Amino acid sequence: MSEFAFELALSAHLERERDAIVSRQLGAAVHGRRVLDTIVVEPGPAFAERAAITAERIPPPAIESDVGPGRARFWKDAFDCHPDRARSLVEWAVDVGFFERERRSGRTYVRQTTRYPEAWFDRILGIENKPDLGRPGDLQTQLLTDVELGLVDAVVLATESHVTGAHRNRIPDAVGIWQFDPATGEREVLRDPDPLPTDEAGIDIIDRQPARTEIRVATADGKRRTRRRLAERAYGKGWRTFEMPACARVAPDEDGLPYCPWKGSVVRPATDCGPDCGGHEPADPPGVDHEALRAAHSPWEPEPEGRQRRQSGLDRFTDSS
């Protein structure tokens, strides 16, 4: 099974198993370029307040701006960036229902529609997927980066392979190990992960070579902001980010995975399907409602109060001068 198919199967399993937000392929570094395969964001005490705002990602600069739910601010004074960038952030925040606008003496002012609930998420689990440990790639450096940075609360390696003692010796002790069978959905915990110090400064590994390692210190405050951005991206993105193949043979399963009976596996539409495939039968892609599936299997809210308010037109104001 390909790493893509393995990742989708594990995401579907975790979404059914846990009352949490599952997402894939998200940047998880403060200064570097680390991307985690799978992210599980567990709801915090204020999750319902966040879910009521919007089904989409709230732009982090809008959250971090000088705009609050009280007195409205002149939009140009609310952001420490170029006016064009500030204008686009205002539009984005208004569009998702986090900001509202009003006019005073020919000027546009903005305020939050509600206070941002910082405690909406709790524990964040990062998962590195390596179904075949015989082809580990740069696995050791990837996992060491996650442990040294401590951005997520825990890190797990998920694999379909038999895990030997030699494998364990190359995996940092703090990393948990799961053996997952995507065909049956069975998951065995071979080792629990250790909790990582997310509220302390960490080390972001930028580059690692045999004779040299380039690092940057990530402050506790920098990690806090990055964790919030990571959680927001996960909430807005989810994990069903793929398109269905335009093929009559594809038969999506109950989780919406693009299963191909001709190949006998879940396929990656962008690379596995099309005229070059011997079993290709051109047809319209099958209709799969990814939003409905996500809403049915997770705490994500597709039609929150905030979205209904925007549809009524109360937050629309086109003049950004």
Q: Which helix (DSSP H) or strand (DSSP E) does residue 159 occupy? A: strand 154-159
To the nearest 10°, the Cα dihedral for 308, 314, 320, 321?
-170
Lowest mean pLDDT among 45-49, 244-248, 315-319: 315-319
Inter-residue contact 126 to 155 (CB < 8 Å):
yes
Q: Helix %, strand %, coil % for the chain, to 5?
A: 30, 25, 45
318 pLDDT tier (thresholds 50, 70, 90) = very low
Reported as a single tens digit per residue, the pLDDT across 19-66 is 999 999 999 999 999 999 999 999 999 999 999 999 999 999 999 999
DSSP state of 118: G
Quick one: which of 236, 213, 225 has its CA closest to 298?
236
Residue with tokens 């910082």: 118
Reported as a single tens digit per residue, the pLDDT across 264-296 is 999 998 899 989 999 999 999 999 999 999 999
pTM: predicted TM-score of the whole model, two decimal places: 0.90
Give strand pairing partners of 61.
none
Q: Specify burial of residue 90 (Cβ count, 10 A radius: 0-12, 13-18, 19+).
A: buried
Reported as a single tens digit per residue, the pLDDT across 68-103 is 998 889 999 989 999 999 999 999 999 999 999 999
Mean pLDDT over all residues of the chain?
Answer: 92
Q: Which residues contact 223 (CB under 8 A, 6 or more apart)?
A: 30, 149, 150, 151, 198, 199, 201, 202
